[in-house]
């Protein structure tokens, strides 16, 4: 990975649907050259009914984006 991105760094998205949005890095996936950014690239995940969650739910989660699509500020 050419740039030194770390957990907690403030970044801005430079390409894609979330272009111009800012957020903090939640996780860096070095093997895949991807990062998870807070509030960016949200996807919906269906959760199964369980004893802990008897209703089930549709939850929005951050999906990873390639590190080249973000810039450190």
Domain 10-72 class? mainly beta
Q: What is the pLDDT of residue 49?
A: 94
The pLDDT profile of the chain, 73 residues, written as one tens digit per residue, is: 556 899 999 999 999 999 999 999 999 999 999 999 999 999 999 999 999 889 999 999 999 999 999 999 9
Q: What is the pLDDT of residue 3?
A: 63
Q: To the nearest 10°, the Cα dihedral for 26, 40, 20, 68?
A: 60
Rounded CA-CA distance 33/22 in Å is 19
Q: What is the pLDDT of residue 25?
A: 96
Q: Which sequence spans correspond to the domains of the chain?
A: 10-72
pTM of the complete model: 0.81
């Amino acid at each position: 990975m050419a740039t030194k991105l770390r957990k907690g760094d403030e970044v801005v998205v430079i390409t894609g649907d979330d272009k111009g949005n800012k957020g903090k890095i939640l996780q860096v996936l070095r093997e895949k050259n991807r990062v998870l950014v807070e509030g960016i690239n949200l996807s919906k995940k269906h959760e199964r009914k369980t004893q802990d969650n008897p209703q089930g739910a549709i939850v929005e989660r951050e999906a990873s984006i390639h590190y080249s699509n973000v810039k450190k500020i």
